Chains A and B, each alone.
Chain A
Amino acid sequence: MPIELTLKRKLILISLFLGVFPVIFLGGLFINTFNTFSKKNISKSYIKLGEEAQKNIQSGIKSDIEMIQPILLRSEKMLESFANSPVIPLLFSSRDSICKASFSEAREIVKGLIKTCNIQFNMINDKLRLGIYTAEYIFQSKGRVYLSTNRFTQWRCKNQYTNKTVHLNLPNFYVGSDIIKKIYSYNEQFSLIVDDVQEMTGINCSLFQKMNSQGDLLRIATNVRLNDGKRGIETYIPAMMPNKSPNPVIVSLLENGTFEGISTEVNEPYISRYQSIYNDSGYMIGAFFIGIPAKAPLLIDTIKKSKLSSYGHAFVIDTKGQYVIHPDEEKTGHCLLSDTDPELFQTILNQPMETNEIPIYINKDYTQFFACQRFKQRNWIICVTGDLTEIIETEYNKTLKLLKNEMMNLYNSSTITVKGQSLHMISQLRFIDQEGAVVVTLNEGHFIEKTKNDAEHKWINQHIDLNENNYLISSVINLNDKEIIRLSTPVYFNESLQGIVVLNVNWDMIRTILNTHVYGSSGYTFIIDTDGIIVSHPEVKRIDNKCILDRSFGPLADIAREDIISGKTGHKSYHFENKERYVYFTPINAMNNQFFMVITGLVDEFMAIPNQMKADAEIEYKGVLQMVIISLFFWIIASLTIGYFFSRSINNPVEKLVLFAHKVSTGDLSYTLKSKNKDELGFLLTAINQMVLSYRTIVGEVISNASKLKVSSIDLVTTASDLSSVFKQMTEQSSNVTHTSKEMSEAISNISLKIDDMNNYINEILKSTESMSINTNTVTSSIEQMSESMHEIGQYARKNNELTMKSVEMSYNTGDTMALLAKAANDIGSVVEVIKRLSYKTNLIAINASIEASSAGEAGMGFAVVSKAIQSFAEQSNKAAENIASHITNVQQIVSKTIQEITDTSTIIRDIHSSSEHISSLVKGQITVADQIVSSASDVNHEAKTMKQSINDLSNTSNTISKNASSIAKGAEGVTNNIEHLSKSSSFSFERIQQVNRSAIELDDYSGNLKELVSRFKTEK
């Protein structure tokens, strides 16, 4: 029997084949592969991580060594550079070499002073040369020098040295025609020649006459002064000095005719030039002198101020050894002998005249030295002396200071930054001399002047056999709670041991560096020395003296003995206290290779991370496997369920559709189909359902709209006829307004004319008033005339007032009428709105009807014709309504404009009214005044003036009124025109409304026809 497969069963079978079998097959395959891959990977990763942990330890120790090793090497270098410092030998260099600099400085000072003296002396010489030239010039221009043969002068000649006086009669001394006269006064009298020379050159000059054959020279004219200020004439230079030695000046003059050098003039030494004076026969009859005082304050001051650093000074002695210039004023005149030993004194005095190198003389005690040079022009010995003891002391201190600077520089350059903290590599630097005395100590950046530690001198012995470039290294020592390593090396100078330099390396710093790495929780890096003693450990101090070779360290002690201390690099594992441990070790290549770096730690701690990772991976693996199996089952169930519902969802709607199709085919539109499906099938059901629904709705709406249209068209006809009647009324009213405004315009023109007249009258009054002042006799009659005129004006004014009152009222009426008009226009607007809505709706219905008709096929053809007609009608009625609306809008605008203009007009009219009231009151005032003028003729003149003024005012006012009136007249004309325009517009609107009325009636007919056509359709159950 053939199996009958429904659509439903087919669909269930398909879902089983496609959903369940693939899932079971692929799931099994996946589980198998995943299991193998995971296990393999976990074991590989574990091994690699273990290797990485070891590498990490090794690189840690390497980085430690890289930090520590340079520090130690640098310490060694620093020690070496300190030991080789050029400053240290300076401390021991001999006295001579220390003093050398001072000697050369002293020499330079002496040289400088000699140079200064020479310059000063040369300047004096230049001046003297000028003086000599000047004197000779004066002599020669005066004429021959000769002695009178018949005239004599009595002279009281005083020996300038002994003050012995001789009286002599000497022939008069002539120069040319001039006689040299005795002149004592310096200020009041001019002494020939000598004062000429002084005036021209500023140099002292004297004239001497030879007293006798011995050559004694008498000063007969001079400007060298005595102590009392007078000229030093009548004093003479004796040929023989008081000590019976010949006077060098006289000797030189007699022999050579000149003298150059230092001479005594009256009582003071001068740098002088003498020149003999001869008569024509060539016999010396006298001499003249040119000189400058030898005392040179500036030069003396310069010498006095010359200092040899702080330990010496310059001075000058004469050839006898007496101080000529000395910084200490009191010493001047004393002998140098009192300040030095006799031998040295003699040597200084007897030193040769000219030497290339200035000699240095040192006394026996080696406490004093002299640098001396002769300055022969002044018979001086210029000396510079210095205190050697002080020099040596000063120089030593200077060198010591240099050494200290160098130590400080070394100390400062030993800074290393560890963990962001600046640490000094050197904790102490010392220099100890050969006797074991500490020369200088730099401790933690501070110099300690003297340390009383006797231990150091023992060190010297340890270094005696040491070569220059070798050094000693102590073990790690605990010093003042600080761990240090002491490096020391000998210092040789001239091949003899001069001392040692000691450098303490800051070992605490090494500990700080080692602390930077911790492996696991108890794995540390530490350093041991060759004895296996732990010298640096984060937890163990040197003072604890722990030795790694001790049995308490278990197998580590053996490893240390066999491998570490023998300088190997490597790693080992060992078991201690039931735990596996790891050790890594390497020697430090510095400080004579006596330190080794070691890391120990528990293997578990090192491998903690790999172990943890392995465990985590295995747990993860199991979880994943479980998840895969569960999801396989779930998928199988799900695919079965989906298959069932899927087949159902396709089958049910298809059955419903078949049933519905049967009903529609019978022409019953009252049933509908419902579907929640959103697939193509659902869309198909919905579309068919929607189609039947649309038919049903369209037919129902056409029926109801037709009946509504009928009602609306009746309303429209009624409204249009109302509108027409309103417009008729409005047209009538506007023609009334036109008429009234025309009347008002005429009235205003009249007012204007009258006002012009009044103006003319006022002008006439003005003229009359003016003529009144000329001719008083005609005043009275004129005033009477004026009074009459004024009465007339009064009447006109009153009339005018009434007119304006009337126009005001009219304008108010016009306003009200216009308001009504505006309201009516607005009403028309609302009617138009209704028409517009109606036509819109009609149009909509027509469009819907035509759609429905087209969808109904041939059955809808007739209906389509009707709907088109309705559509065109709706369009026409819409157009008509728009036309009406635009006209009504125009009317509304014009009306509102008219209202505005009428409002303006009424305002102007009110103004006119108030102005005419004012005129009326003024005229009344005028009449009163005129009456008063008539009754009081004596006040005419005075009143006439007042009147003239008032009339002027009146004239101005009436002018203003006249202008206002004419402008009102123009305004009134404008109003009239506007109202006429309004009237025309309203009659046009009226015609249009009539047309609307007709269209509404037509619409009514069409709607009747439509109702009949749609009544055949059934839309409700």
Chain B
Amino acid sequence: MKTYCILLIVYFNIFSVNGYAQQSPYTSKDLGLENSILTPLGALRSGNKDNTIPPWTGGVKQLPHGYQPGDRHPYPFQKDAPLFIISHENYQQYANKLTAGEIALIKNYPDSYKMSVYPTHRTASYPKWVYEAAVENANKAKLVEWGNGIINVRITCPFPIPENGLQAIWNHLIFFKNVSSKRISVQAAPTKLGKYTLMKVKETAFVPFAQKYHAINNNYESNIYGYFLQIIQTPAKIAGNGLLVYEYLNQVINPRKAWLYSPGRRRVIRSPNAAYDYPGTASDGLRTIDDWNIFNGATDRYSWKLLGKKEIYIPYNCYTLHSDTLAYKDILTRYHINQKYVRYELHRVWVVEATLKENKHHIYMFRRFYLDEDSWVCLAAEMYDDQGKIWRVSLAHLINYYEVPLMFSTANVFHDLAARRYLATNLDNEEKVSDFLILFNRKHFTPGALIRNTGGR
């Protein structure tokens, strides 16, 4: 069985090799804030030959008219009309610019899964000091412990010009997420029949690594990457369950620390399991812990491979999906979220493949990730089961949070093709918009704080 799986993977690699750009010939000298070949984060500043991808001009540089920080982010491309729609009827025509997951979704839900493709806007932008740090990292950052840890890095992506899959996925793992953030979002796992229960989750994060004057992590004291706290607020049956995670840069020295709180037990307990394929919080078993943010956590169970860059149609600038004019019931349709509100654009992405190592366990045998060229955010991923079948498809829907600015997903959707169900997370249409201007400190992320936040003892 395993041999069969590997063969399949190899086949996929060969099949898709034509679509990938060659290994990057650039060096860190090519990185620059202005007038360089590469953007500070290592993307090609220029557009593509067909001009379907424009050159990067710094992304969103100015706040839209009338927007005040704390407001819901307005849709900046009102005038754009869909260029075309990819559906079950025509998907093969675009097959080389679609991910395997997208194809699987179209195939599984031929009647409803239709991708509206809009003109591409390279909106990704970050503060200047983030770019500077990225350029700095490019010369210094170094993987240690067989890729399980990283040193000499600060604020954001360590390897703007990645040499391998591990370096690429590390760029995703620690892309700039701002120092503090608070998000009250809703997730739902509609059944095959489309019934669902809304689960409201409060997520807060404090990432000291992203602090402006953060020194490079050349010692163990500065090993901490960030603190993440999830608390379920509804439904009542599971409300009050909480998860606190301490994430480290070098996970061999400091493995992830996780604490669970359950109102039934009324105790905070350490949970060494809250990693890898442990079921994600309130996910109905439709995602694993390391599916959060498409991929997070330790990389040690997989062998990583960087395939190179590829142009694909991918959800991007999904401001419509972000809009507070939408209700959850509009979005949460059967099998997948309502595609009417999803904006697809053509973007260059880095394709990274992860194959489960021998003697390691995970419910996903093989994973493929699509990382945004401009932000290193993973936009899409496909997960294969031990049969070698594509099982789950994850999609992130990015927007630029102007107030920082930074790129972050307004909705992550995890499709389970076997169950014909999906889990939609990060939806905040009926909630307050995510707050990146909030300021946290470590005190907000202690086990005691977990108790305080959940109302426990």
User: Contact between A282 and B197 (Cβ–Cβ < 8 Å)?
Assistant: yes
Q: Which residues of A contact B260 (CB under 8 A)?
A: 140-141
Whether, in the assembled complex, A310 has its beta carbon less than 8 Å from a beta carbon of chain B, the answer is no
Whether, in the assembled complex, B152 has its beta carbon less than 8 Å from a beta carbon of chain A, the answer is no
User: Contact between A144 and B271 (Cβ–Cβ < 8 Å)?
Assistant: no
- Give A165-189 as 1s and 0s: 1 = Cβ < 8 Å from B's Cβ atoms: 0000000001011000000000000
Binds A, one of B74-82, B168-176, B261-269: B261-269
Q: Which single member of B188, B237, B269 contacts A278 (CB below 8 Å)?
A: B237
Q: Which residues of B contact A281 (CB under 8 A)?
A: 188-189, 191, 196-197, 199, 284
Interface residues in B372-426 by Cβ distance below 8 A to A read: 385, 389, 391, 416, 418-419, 421
Whether, in the assembled complex, A147 has its beta carbon less than 8 Å from a beta carbon of chain B, the answer is yes
Shortest Cβ distance from B187 into A: residue: A280
Q: Which residues of B contact A137 (CB under 8 A)?
A: 265
Q: How far is the CB of B272 from the nearest CB of chain A, in Å?
A: 10
Q: How far is the CB of B292 from the nearest CB of chain A, in Å?
A: 14
User: Contact between B269 and A149 (Cβ–Cβ < 8 Å)?
Assistant: no
Q: How far is the CA of A1009 from the CA of B262 in the complex (A)?
A: 170
Binds A, one of B49-57, B275-283, B345-353: B275-283
Given A174-B285, A279-B285, A282-B238, A143 contacting B279 (CB threshold 8 A): yes
Given A142-B273, A176-B273, A281-B197, A150 contacting B418 (CB threshold 8 A): yes
Q: Which residues of A contact B277 (CB under 8 A)?
A: 177
Q: How far is the CA of A303 from the CA of B53 in the complex (A)?
A: 88
Whether, in the assembled complex, A146 has its beta carbon less than 8 Å from a beta carbon of chain B, the answer is yes
Q: Which residues of A contact B274 (CB under 8 A)?
A: 143
Q: Which residues of B contact A147 (CB under 8 A)?
A: 285
Q: How far is the CA of A148 from the CA of B419 in the complex (A)?
A: 8
Interface residues in B243-271 by Cβ distance below 8 A to A read: 260, 262, 264-265, 269, 271
Q: Which residues of A contact B210 (CB under 8 A)?
A: none
User: Contact between A280 and B283 (Cβ–Cβ < 8 Å)?
Assistant: yes
Q: Which residues of B contact A177 (CB under 8 A)?
A: 273, 276-279
Q: How far is the CA of A148 from the CA of B364 in the complex (A)?
A: 13
Q: How far is the CA of A279 from the CA of B191 in the complex (A)?
A: 12
User: Contact between A144 and B421 (Cβ–Cβ < 8 Å)?
Assistant: no
Q: Which single member of A141, A149, A280 contacts B238 (CB below 8 Å)?
A: A280
Q: Which residues of B contact A279 (CB under 8 A)?
A: 284-285
Q: How far is the CB of B198 from the nearest CB of chain A, in Å?
A: 9
Given A143-B279, A281-B189, A282-B238, A136 contacting B284 (CB threshold 8 A): no
Q: How far is the CB of A976 from the nearest CB of chain B, in Å?
A: 134
Interface residues in B200-243 by Cβ distance below 8 A to A read: 235, 237-238
Q: Which residues of B contact A282 (CB under 8 A)?
A: 197, 235, 237-238
User: Contact between A144 and B279 (Cβ–Cβ < 8 Å)?
Assistant: yes
User: Contact between A136 and B418 (Cβ–Cβ < 8 Å)?
Assistant: no
User: Contact between A140 and B264 (Cβ–Cβ < 8 Å)?
Assistant: yes
Interface residues in A797-833 by Cβ distance below 8 A to B read: none
Q: How far is the CA of A279 from the CA of B280 in the complex (A)?
A: 12
Q: How far is the CA of A174 from the CA of B235 in the complex (A)?
A: 21
User: Contact between B273 and A143 (Cβ–Cβ < 8 Å)?
Assistant: yes
User: Contact between A280 and B199 (Cβ–Cβ < 8 Å)?
Assistant: yes
Q: Which residues of B contact A280 (CB under 8 A)?
A: 189, 199, 238, 281-285
How many residues of chain B have a CB within 8 Å of chain A? Answer: 35
Interface residues in A123-154 by Cβ distance below 8 A to B read: 136-137, 140-144, 146-150
Q: How far is the CA of A141 from the CA of B260 in the complex (A)?
A: 8
User: Contact between B285 and A148 (Cβ–Cβ < 8 Å)?
Assistant: yes
Q: Which residues of A contact B238 (CB under 8 A)?
A: 278, 280, 282
Q: How far is the CA of A174 from the CA of B287 in the complex (A)?
A: 13
Q: How far is the CA of A149 from the CA of B271 in the complex (A)?
A: 24
Q: How far is the CB of B190 from the nearest CB of chain A, in Å?
A: 9
Q: How far is the CB of B365 from the nearest CB of chain A, in Å?
A: 12
Given A177-B273, A281-B196, A144 contacting B262 (CB threshold 8 A): no
Interface residues in B412-442 by Cβ distance below 8 A to A read: 416, 418-419, 421
B interface secondary structure, majority: loop
Q: Which residues of A contact B273 (CB under 8 A)?
A: 142-143, 176-177
User: Contact between B269 and A150 (Cβ–Cβ < 8 Å)?
Assistant: no
Q: Which residues of B contact A143 (CB under 8 A)?
A: 271, 273-274, 278-279
Q: How far is the CB of B127 from the nearest CB of chain A, in Å?
A: 37
Shortest Cβ distance from A177 into B: residue: B278
Q: Which residues of A contact B278 (CB under 8 A)?
A: 143-144, 176-177
Q: How far is the CA of A147 from the CA of B421 in the complex (A)?
A: 12
Q: Which single member of A136, A142, A283 contacts B265 (CB below 8 Å)?
A: A136
User: Contact between A149 and B418 (Cβ–Cβ < 8 Å)?
Assistant: yes
Query: Which of A143, A150, A177, A280 has the largest number of chain B CB atoms within 10 A?
Result: A280
Whether, in the assembled complex, B286 has its beta carbon less than 8 Å from a beta carbon of chain A, the answer is yes
Q: How far is the CA of A280 from the CA of B196 in the complex (A)?
A: 10
User: Contact between A144 and B285 (Cβ–Cβ < 8 Å)?
Assistant: yes
- Give A245-284 as 1s and 0s: 1 = Cβ < 8 Å from B's Cβ atoms: 0000000000000000000000000000000001111110
User: Contact between B285 and A141 (Cβ–Cβ < 8 Å)?
Assistant: no
Q: How far is the CA of A137 from the CA of B264 in the complex (A)?
A: 8
User: Contact between A141 and B286 (Cβ–Cβ < 8 Å)?
Assistant: no
Q: How far is the CB of B277 from the nearest CB of chain A, in Å?
A: 6
Q: How far is the CA of A148 from the CA of B389 in the complex (A)?
A: 15
Q: How far is the CA of A147 from the CA of B283 in the complex (A)?
A: 11
- Give A95-136 as 1s and 0s: 1 = Cβ < 8 Å from B's Cβ atoms: 000000000000000000000000000000000000000001
User: Contact between A146 and B285 (Cβ–Cβ < 8 Å)?
Assistant: yes
Q: How far is the CB of B239 from the nearest CB of chain A, in Å?
A: 10
Q: How far is the CB of B82 from the nearest CB of chain A, in Å?
A: 32
Shortest Cβ distance from B263 into A: residue: A140
User: Contact between B265 and A140 (Cβ–Cβ < 8 Å)?
Assistant: yes
Q: Which residues of B contact A136 (CB under 8 A)?
A: 264-265
Q: Which residues of B contact A144 (CB under 8 A)?
A: 278-283, 285
Q: How far is the CA of A149 from the CA of B235 in the complex (A)?
A: 22
Given A177-B277, A177-B278, A281-B196, A150 contacting B391 (CB threshold 8 A): yes
Q: How far is the CB of B131 from the nearest CB of chain A, in Å?
A: 40
User: Contact between B416 and A149 (Cβ–Cβ < 8 Å)?
Assistant: yes
Q: How far is the CB of B101 from the nearest CB of chain A, in Å?
A: 15
Q: How far is the CA of A150 from the CA of B282 in the complex (A)?
A: 18
Q: How far is the CA of A283 from the CA of B271 in the complex (A)?
A: 24
Q: How far is the CB of A644 from the nearest CB of chain B, in Å?
A: 154
Q: Which residues of B contact A176 (CB under 8 A)?
A: 273, 278-279
Shortest Cβ distance from A150 into B: residue: B418
Q: How far is the CB of A26 from the nearest CB of chain B, in Å?
A: 139
Shortest Cβ distance from A133 into B: residue: B265
Q: How far is the CA of A174 from the CA of B237 in the complex (A)?
A: 19
Q: How far is the CA of A144 from the CA of B283 in the complex (A)?
A: 9
Q: How far is the CA of A136 from the CA of B416 in the complex (A)?
A: 28
Q: Which residues of A contact B282 (CB under 8 A)?
A: 144, 280
Shortest Cβ distance from B385 into A: residue: A150
Shortest Cβ distance from A140 into B: residue: B262
Query: Which of B197, B265, B273, B279 has the largest number of chain A CB atoms within 10 A?
Result: B279
Query: Which of A177, A278, A281 has the largest number of chain B CB atoms within 10 A?
Result: A281
Q: How far is the CA of A283 from the CA of B188 in the complex (A)?
A: 13
Q: Which residues of A contact B283 (CB under 8 A)?
A: 144, 146, 280
Shortest Cβ distance from A178 into B: residue: B273
30 residue pairs from A and B, CB less than 8 Å apart:
A140-B260, A141-B271, A143-B273, A144-B278, A144-B281, A144-B282, A146-B283, A146-B286, A148-B285, A149-B285, A149-B286, A149-B416, A149-B418, A150-B416, A174-B285, A176-B278, A177-B273, A177-B278, A177-B279, A278-B237, A278-B238, A279-B285, A280-B281, A280-B283, A280-B284, A281-B188, A281-B196, A281-B284, A282-B197, A282-B235
Binding site for A on B (CB under 8 A): 188-189, 191, 196-197, 199, 235, 237-238, 260, 262, 264-265, 269, 271, 273-274, 276-286, 385, 389, 391, 416, 418-419, 421
**For the complex of A and B, 7 pairs with smallest distance between CB atoms:** A146-B285, A149-B419, A150-B418, A144-B279, A280-B282, A280-B284, A281-B197
Besides the known contacts A146-B279, A176-B278, A281-B189, 15 further A-B residue pairs in the complex with CB atoms under 8 A apart: A136-B264, A137-B265, A140-B264, A142-B273, A144-B278, A144-B280, A149-B285, A149-B286, A150-B389, A177-B273, A280-B281, A280-B285, A281-B199, A283-B191, A283-B197
